[in-house]
Amino acid sequence: MNRRHFLKMSAATAAAMAVTATGDVGGGNLFRPATARAAIGPETGSMGAKEITSVCEMCFWRCPIVGKVKDGKLIKIEGNPKSPVNGTRVCARGNSGVQLVYDPDRVKTPLKRVGARGEGKWAKISWDEALGEIAHNMQQVKKKYGPHALAYFDHGASAEFMRGIFKAMGTENFTSEPAFYQCVGPAALAYLNTVGYVTTGTRQYNDMGHAKAMLLVASHIGENVHVSHVREFIQGMSNGAKLIVVDPRFSAPANKAHIYLPIRPGTDTALMLAWINYVIRNNLYDKKFVANNCEGFDQLKTEVKGYSMEWAAGICDLKIEDMKAAILELAKAAPNVNIHPGRHATWYGKGDVGRHQSYAILTALFGAVGVPGGIYFPTPVKLGKAECPEPEEVETAEADPSMKEDSEYPFSSIFGTTTRDIINAALTGKPYPVKLLGVNGVNIIQTLPNPYDTMKAIKNLDFIFCEEMMAGETALWSDIILPDSVYLERYDGLYAYDGLTPYLTVRQPVVKPMFDVKSPYWIAQNLAKKLGIKGYTCKDEEEFLNEELKGAGLTLAKLNSRGGLVTYPGNPYRDPKKLKVGTESGKIQLSVEEFDDEDLDAIPKFEPTPAPPKGYTRLVYGRAPMHTFSRTMNNLWLHNEMPENKLWLNDKVAARLSIKNDEEIILENQDGKRSNPIKVLVTPGIRPDTVFMYHGFGSKSKHLSRAYGKGAADGFLMPTVVQAPFIGAASQRTNFVRIIKDGKTLNIPELVAVPNEIPRYESKIA
């Protein structure tokens, strides 16, 4: 983007909006301004702007920011210079929070559905009417079916207050679903049971900045653009760390790798087990660390002895010399080596926990726990507890059976009720019917695999409501839409970062709320009143936050006087001779007894995921640097930089099919489901048995004027779901596609032979 183009776009910040909107029932102008304010001219530097600190929520990384406000308008966002991890830096998404505030497609007032679900037709109603209708339906569903017929899907800090309402109504069916069952769940469980704590949550305890070598397994640092994360990665690389990348796609970090291993999809655990065996057999592990701090070594040694490098080379389609060079590079750097756990873990279902367990095992063998460059320990920031708490849970008879406690997935209750269980209960009525759903902070149509089941489940509901800033697919299916304030217009909970340099900060309003929107606290507080639930007794969010800050000896005023952020001493490292982790024994579990007790693998085993059926290729996906999935697709600045996704297609496959770069095609999956048209990126940077697209595109909501129909949605090509036997997390890389060009179906040529050990998926289509 050149300077002239940037200045032209800056003027569009004036996407100024009227305080109210008018229009006919069901018309698109329910979301559009009736009038427009004068454009905001380009601003540079402070120029007299008022600076207000806050916390970003353009993604989940929650970077400390400063909003610059002039004449009541937000004109710029920068990083908070007090931040020890970001400084003044902010990514493109963080900067584009300006455009989220002034997006003309925002939901501006409570809306009630007047057409069929999915049709996207609503009428404007008052807040009193909207909350009254929600309360009435919650009470009726509870009375008719019992409290467990209520369910809640949420994500993000703004959703936590509403979760308290559902808990108070007596239901157990709530889940922070993107964070666990569609993302980090298998990784979280693996590390929790191996090293005693979750190393891969919202913040990842990986000391890349001090690593001498790093391993990334399909972890796209640099494409997800979490600012502090990327800075730590760059610090490690700048200090001379060797980088090993395992990925079927030549990703951004693969471009920086010293050794790149373009692995066959679905065989990552085979490589890891062969490496673990090689490290043990060749005495490359830290014997003192393992003897003093680990349990289950002998069982591990016996279990992995059959996984040879020669065997893995054939399974993974890798050169054995590259595999050996990579593991020797990692061993040489020990203990200052970072076997990065990644975050997004829900790939193939059955083997997802074991794959991440193998990362943790290799980390332990190298003694890379609690040392510079390895995984480190969080330093908790002391906070108080607000004396105006959420509502207390009511006493209620348990459903028989309990979907949460009696799940076939023995470890699912750690993270809340499994999302697939909730969807299946709405579909089948088993073990009991789910009849009302609340949604906040997540687009369940785009996020949950098999959106066709999700839409069928919604049709079976008596009622569904959502809190939304933008009318995406979930809003299309909702009976009531509550207009949520943008993160730059509201207070949320405190943010206590417990990383290498701990800090405390707070999200607070940078500008006054536009339109007839309300904060999540206000919504929960007033819905509680409608339901007769006691709680949320603080007058407002400011009082709530001041109560929490008492434990830290602060108030909002004191925190703001100190630049909106306070740092604390960190304690990330441990003496290996005195190491004690959070497992029951205090030692790292190379063999997890709790898994064995549930007839699951105590030590990972390689279970091959089926190869593509003849004529198809595996579909994988990832993050785009300019977007946070579907939530940013309508943003003016970000849409301008990346308006649509493309399909990465291997150049040799493209040549066989006579497909050229930027040609438009349609994808058809193994069940006959088809995508929107999508352009092709012809590249040698992806294996011939794999195609890739960025997630979040292909919006089906006409109320998102920029995002609608742009690119293809990978989720609508993913009806086949395999659930992890440990926690029920749903697979998202177990579907396959072929190409339709100019109305003609093109089968994908098989340029890489499939070993006999890997079964082939049986397609339902001839």
Q: Answer yes or no: is 503 within a domain.
A: no
Average pLDDT over residues 668-695: 97
Question: Are 299 and 439 part of one and the same domain?
Answer: no
Name the pLDDT band for 399 (thresholds 50, 70, 90).
low
Interacting residues of 550 by C-beta distance below 8 A, sequence separation 6+:
384
Name the pLDDT band for 405 (thresholds 50, 70, 90).
confident
Question: Are 410 and 527 part of one and the same domain?
Answer: yes
pLDDT tens, 542-565?
998 998 899 899 999 999 999 999
Question: Are 728 and 642 part of one and the same domain?
Answer: yes
Residue 9 has pLDDT above 50, yes or no: no
CATH number, domain containing residue 234? 3.40.228.10
Name the pLDDT band for 389 (thresholds 50, 70, 90).
low
Q: Which amino acid is at 251?
A: S
Residue 234 has pLDDT above 90, yes or no: yes
Q: Which domain holds residue 434?
A: 111-180+382-484+509-554
Question: Are 347 and 478 part of one and the same domain?
Answer: no
Going by the DSSP 8-state scheme, the letter that residue 382 receives in this structure is P
pLDDT tens, 501-542?
999 999 999 999 999 999 999 999 999 999 999 888 889 999
CATH number, domain containing residue 430? 3.40.50.740
pLDDT tens, 153-167?
988 777 888 999 999
Answer whether the bond into residue 604 is a cis peptide, omega within 30°: no
The rounded distance, in Å, linking the Cα atoms of 424 and 434 is 9
The rounded distance, in Å, linking the Cα atoms of 332 and 363 is 13
pLDDT tens, 626-638?
999 898 999 999 9
Question: Are 419 and 524 part of one and the same domain?
Answer: yes
pLDDT tens, 283-340?
999 999 999 999 999 999 999 999 999 999 999 999 999 999 999 999 999 999 999 9
Question: Are 370 and 393 part of one and the same domain?
Answer: no
pLDDT attached to residue 21: 29
Question: Quick check: 301 and 348 in contact, CB under 8 A?
Answer: no
pLDDT attached to residue 61: 87
Residue 28 has pLDDT above 80, yes or no: no
Q: Among the residues of 650-727, which ranges form H helices?
A: 651-657
Residue 435 has pLDDT above 50, yes or no: yes
Average pLDDT over residues 341-361: 94
Helix (H) or strand (E) holding 621: strand 617-622
pLDDT attached to residue 177: 56
Q: Answer yes or no: is 535 within a domain.
A: yes
Residue 343 has pLDDT above 90, yes or no: no
pLDDT attached to residue 175: 78
The rounded distance, in Å, linking the Cα atoms of 124 and 113 is 9
Question: Are 268 and 152 part of one and the same domain?
Answer: no
Q: Answer yes or no: is 270 within a domain.
A: yes
> Domains in the chain: how many in total?
3
Q: What percent of the chain has a predicted confidence (pLDDT) above 90?
A: 77
pLDDT attached to residue 765: 53
Question: Quick check: 761 and 735 in contact, CB under 8 A?
Answer: no
Residue 401 has pLDDT above 80, yes or no: no
Mean pLDDT of the chain: 90
Question: Are 679 and 724 part of one and the same domain?
Answer: yes
- With DSSP H G I counted as helix, E B as strand and the rest as coil, what are the percentages for the chain, rounded to 5? 35, 20, 50
CATH number, domain containing residue 683? 2.40.40.20
Dig out the tokens for 247 from the structure: 């990925």
Name the pLDDT band for 182 (thresholds 50, 70, 90).
confident
Q: Answer yes or no: is 519 within a domain.
A: yes
The three-state secondary structure class of 151 is strand
Name the pLDDT band for 395 (thresholds 50, 70, 90).
low
pLDDT attached to residue 178: 60
Dig out the tokens for 341 from the structure: 């756990």
Name the pLDDT band for 264 (thresholds 50, 70, 90).
very high
pLDDT tens, 718-752?
999 999 999 999 999 999 999 999 999 999 999 99
Name the pLDDT band for 663 (thresholds 50, 70, 90).
very high
Q: Answer yes or no: is 740 within a domain.
A: yes
Question: Are 540 and 686 part of one and the same domain?
Answer: no
Question: Are 413 and 550 part of one and the same domain?
Answer: yes
Question: Are 735 and 629 part of one and the same domain?
Answer: yes
Q: Answer yes or no: is 83 within a domain.
A: no
Question: Are 173 and 219 part of one and the same domain?
Answer: no
Q: Answer yes or no: is 700 within a domain.
A: yes
Q: Answer yes or no: is 265 within a domain.
A: yes
Name the pLDDT band for 14 (thresholds 50, 70, 90).
very low
Name the pLDDT band for 417 (thresholds 50, 70, 90).
confident
